[in-house]
Chain A
Amino acid sequence: MKRKSMLWLFAMILVLSAFLAACGGDKASDDKSGDSKGDGKATETEDSGPQQGGTLTYALDAVPEGLFSFAFYGIATDAEIIDFFDEGLIKYDENLEPIPNYAEWETEDNQHFTFKFKEGVKWHNGEELTVNDWVFALETLASPDYDGPRYANVETVEGAPEFREGKADSISGLKVIDDYTIEVTFDAPRLNNLTNLWTYPMPAKEFEGIEVKDMSGSDAVRKNPVGVGPFKVEKIVPGESVELVKNEDYWNGDVNLDKIIVRIIDNSATVGALQNGEVDMVAIQPVSGPEVEKLDNVEIVTAPGLSYYYVGFKLGKFDNKQQKIVEENPKYQDVKLRQAMAHAINRQEWIDAFFFGYGKPINKPVPSAHWISADDSEVTGYDYDPEKAKKLLDEAGYKDVDGDGFREDPKGEKFSVKFSHYATGNPTFESRATALTQYWEEVGLKSELEMVEVNLYYDMIEKDDPSIETFFGGWSTGADPDPTPTWASDQIWNYPRYNNPEADELLKKALSVEEIGDDKDKRKQVYAEWQKIVTDDVPMIFIAELDELYAVSDKVGGFTVDVAGTNNPSEWYKKEGK
């Protein structure tokens, strides 16, 4: 009896291992078909133009909060859904220049703007969109009870602060001429007044009788959101899926698809769902790239992203009350040390290893897709050059005097680079951070790495915690090119505490209406000068800019994406017979 059961156990193990081996074999065959992907793509080109009808399944890998309104949403996941059913007055072209959507504007002095709305644009509830809906939105944002983060987009309109403090019943800078015309006056002429302004109307009728403080929890936001976009929200299963149907009355041409189903799926299921055709489109992380590339029925569409990764040096301390940098940290003040550390990093190798090539080294504090981005020839680049790094360190006096293989500081004391990186559940973070410290060790700088829990991490950086010396971070830029919030010396988000009056001066100059006016080339020139100064000073080592990745099924046509985002979903279509 005993022996028999042992036999069975053994048999079970065998069966199980055969099972596992089968999985492994499957992966291998996937690999093979991935290689022949090139020819496969070439043959399936009988694309006879846009077709009507069909359902597209769009996946999200994070759970939306359910705040389906431009005015209230907090996370990008919700915005992805809102983009299907609502639009703003203006949109941005591939150079991130504002262009009219359903409203045109005129201005002579960058302070007074006249907006003219298109007639006949209808909300999904049948009401016509008028300037009053926009005024309603702006007044909601400026209300003291508003619990979203967007007051800053109204603040610069004349009279908004008074309205918020309750001193006025309406915002004095908004003057309604008729249902389709409105004059907006800002408190000062600025070049970025328009890009900073809130341009998303709210359906006033839907929110009738709802107090501002209750709006974010109301059904008009959570259950029956209404917009003017190409699709209408038909049904929402909270935290799981959203059904959107074609808007027959769409103001901007015909909508090809009948339906878009937005599904929330777990990261681990993305590749399988794409392969099975259960998901037609999903924005993916570079990490999933190699696996998705192997699928024959899915293509990866990339667009240049607007974010960049950097390694920052804490150069000083910021006093939040005085809004200025009050102290200098001595450790990394020597610019040659910072330059050497920049030259030591092989960015291309690092990007290939951790982002699978979906990105490229960046040489300046502005993503290269942005129109103010300076040409690489105009800034000081720091290519991988360990010899130069060593030379710079020698020149700066960082030499190995005690023969332990690592350099000491100019005074002959032990020197060690302390590098911090945020930690989440992502296991690649620690290895990519370790890789950076190894580059420094190769040029003789002793380095130690500290992984800090992500929530605590940014708090520590913001408060200039002394344990943060050099740190990994990322910033993203919006349509408004002004880098002031993350770079001026009086801003809390200037994390390196970079303090160069000359650079601050240029940032101010670029925004000044008197000096620059509407001259874009001139403005770009000023920003290029600024970028040159920043790259000379290296308050941070610019590491990489990453692509935005979309995995798109071969059943989907009409999809394009550029730096300003995807094209209008009304142009997407499902290919016949697929």
Chain B
Amino acid sequence: MVKYVLRRLLGMIPMLFLVSVVVFFLAKAMPGDSLRGEIDPTNTNPEYIAEMQEKLGYNDPVYVQYWNWVTSFVQGDFGKSTRYKMPVSDLLLEKIPNTVFLALTALIITYILAFAMGMYSGRKPYTIGDNLIAGFNYTGLAIPSFVAGVFAVYFFAFKLHWFPFAGSVDIEVQNGTIDYWMSRIHHVMLPAFILGLFSTASYTQFLRNDLIENSRKDFVRTARAKGTPIGKIYNVHILRNSIIPLVTFLGFDIASLMSGAVITEKIFSYPGIGLLFLDSVNNRDYPTVMAITMMLSALVLVGNLIADILYGVVDPRIRLG
């Protein structure tokens, strides 16, 4: 097991390296640089731009720039954001907690909803309730999150006043108090629901289909024949088997929630990694773009690894080799 994990971790290094090369050169291939964009002749002058380009090394050949970036990156120096003029690591540390909070809440909402709905649908397939849930799920799958987000803001924030429409916290409450955390939770619910909508739908359907499939298997018939209560059959025998596909999703979800947050955070003006990433791409803030991309790539790889390990834990029949 340890050997397996180590081997996987080592295998990530060339992957990350390739990702970094591709992303760096693609980022540099974008037209313009962080000093371009809208030029305002009243407070920028050509000498300043030329000087800063030289200072930031934009005049070096791209491979030299890549080498400079990669050498300091592996030493843990992510560089300085050209837009925020502060170290990228500080910038990320400022935003990561928000995104993690959002992603975790989304995950919890997803699991609660998916389990409740999936169990119901799986036990009572083709009933009115199942069809309603299926209708809800397919709507969730069909509507892109940016549309769902705007609609959610319109209905739940502006019409019903249930949730705030933007931000992560009410600035007027004292940091660290109960009110503060309540305010944070209040602010995160709506974006988290939207963020989790897609995975809720797929989780529910997967769980449902798996429950139905498993309930027709021989071991269920045997259990029934033995006289095991039907509730126990579902909760123990079937569910344990049906969770396996869901557990694999958990690994992927870590990464997809983080990156899926890009759109959601933008719509809800939620200051996390996603909003920062969009902003950095638009402003050609290369150090920030690179750091976030590398982080997300590492998360995808680690997420896959976690999924594989969890397989073995949930289902001992699957051996890690």
Contact B131 A263 (CB under 8 A): no
Q: How far is the CB of A488 from chain B (nearest CB, A)?
A: 12
B32 within 8 A of A: yes
Give CA–CA (A455, B27) in the complex, Å.
Answer: 13
Q: Which residue of A lies closest to B155 (CB)?
A: A23
Contact A268 B86 (CB under 8 A): no
Q: How far is the CB of B302 from chain A (nearest CB, A)?
A: 26
A63 within 8 A of B: yes
Contact A5 B94 (CB under 8 A): no
Give CA–CA (A51, B197) in the complex, Å.
Answer: 47
Q: How many residues of chain B are within 8 Å of chain A by beta carbon?
A: 57
B24 within 8 A of A: no
Q: How far is the CB of B201 from chain A (nearest CB, A)?
A: 14
Interface string of B28-65 (1 = CB under 8 A from A): 00111100111111111111100010010000000000
Q: Which residues of B contact A67 (CB under 8 A)?
A: 84-85
From known contacts A261-B172, A477-B42, infer whether A152 and B48 are also in contact, taking CB-CB under 8 Å.
yes
Contact B131 A5 (CB under 8 A): yes
Of A202-210, A236-244, A547-555, which stretch is located at the interface? A236-244
Contact B172 A237 (CB under 8 A): no
B135 within 8 A of A: yes
From known contacts A9-B135, A455-B37, infer whether A237 and B284 are also in contact, taking CB-CB under 8 Å.
no
Contact A12 B135 (CB under 8 A): yes
Interface residues of A in 471-499 (CB under 8 A from B): 475-478, 480, 485-486, 492-493
Contact A63 B279 (CB under 8 A): yes
Q: How far is the CB of B47 from chain A (nearest CB, A)?
A: 8
Of A271-279, A505-513, A521-529, which stretch is located at the interface? A271-279
From known contacts A238-B271, A265-B166, A266-B269, infer whether A72 and B85 are also in contact, taking CB-CB under 8 Å.
yes
Interface residues of B in 273-295 (CB under 8 A from A): 275-276, 279, 284
B111 within 8 A of A: no
Q: Which residues of B contact A456 (CB under 8 A)?
A: 31-32
> For the complex, would chain A's binding face be called helix, strand, loop or mixed by DSSP majority?
mixed
Interface string of A310-340 (1 = CB under 8 A from B): 0000000000100000000000000000000
Give CA–CA (A455, B126) in the complex, Å.
Answer: 55
Q: Which residues of B contact A9 (CB under 8 A)?
A: 131, 135
B41 contact from A235, A238, A486, Cβ within 8 A: A486
A18 within 8 A of B: no
From known contacts A149-B43, A455-B37, infer whether A235 and B171 are also in contact, taking CB-CB under 8 Å.
yes
A44 within 8 A of B: no
A268 contact from B150, B161, B276, Cβ within 8 A: B150
Q: Which residues of B contact A240 (CB under 8 A)?
A: 167-169, 171, 269-271
Contact A269 B171 (CB under 8 A): no
A42 within 8 A of B: no
> For the complex, would chain B's binding face be called helix, strand, loop or mixed by DSSP majority?
loop
Q: How far is the CB of B70 from chain A (nearest CB, A)?
A: 23
From known contacts A8-B128, A9-B131, A453-B31, infer whether A273 and B39 are also in contact, taking CB-CB under 8 Å.
no
Q: Which residues of A contact B80 (CB under 8 A)?
A: 217
Give CA–CA (A240, B188) in the complex, Å.
Answer: 14
Contact A273 B165 (CB under 8 A): yes
Interface string of A446-467 (1 = CB under 8 A from B): 0000000111101100000000
Give CA–CA (A261, B40) in the complex, Å.
Answer: 28
Give CA–CA (A458, B36) in the complex, Å.
Answer: 8
Contact A459 B31 (CB under 8 A): yes
Interface residues of B in 140-162 (CB under 8 A from A): 150, 153-154, 157-158, 161
Give CA–CA (A478, B45) in the complex, Å.
Answer: 14
- A16, A243, A268 — most chain B CB neighbours (10 Å): A268
- B45, B90, B271 — most chain A CB neighbours (10 Å): B45
Q: Which residue of A lies closest to B276 (CB)?
A: A239
Q: How far is the CB of A137 from chain B (nearest CB, A)?
A: 15
B79 within 8 A of A: no
Contact B165 A278 (CB under 8 A): yes
A562 within 8 A of B: no
Contact B153 A272 (CB under 8 A): yes
Q: How far is the CB of B90 from chain A (nearest CB, A)?
A: 8
- Given A65-B85, A66-B86, A217-B80, 10 more A-B residue pairs with CB atoms under 8 Å apart are A23-B154, A147-B52, A149-B44, A240-B171, A240-B269, A261-B171, A266-B267, A272-B153, A273-B158, A275-B158
What are 6 sample pairs from A and B whose C-beta atoms fall under 8 A apart? A263-B166, A266-B268, A273-B166, A454-B32, A476-B40, A493-B39
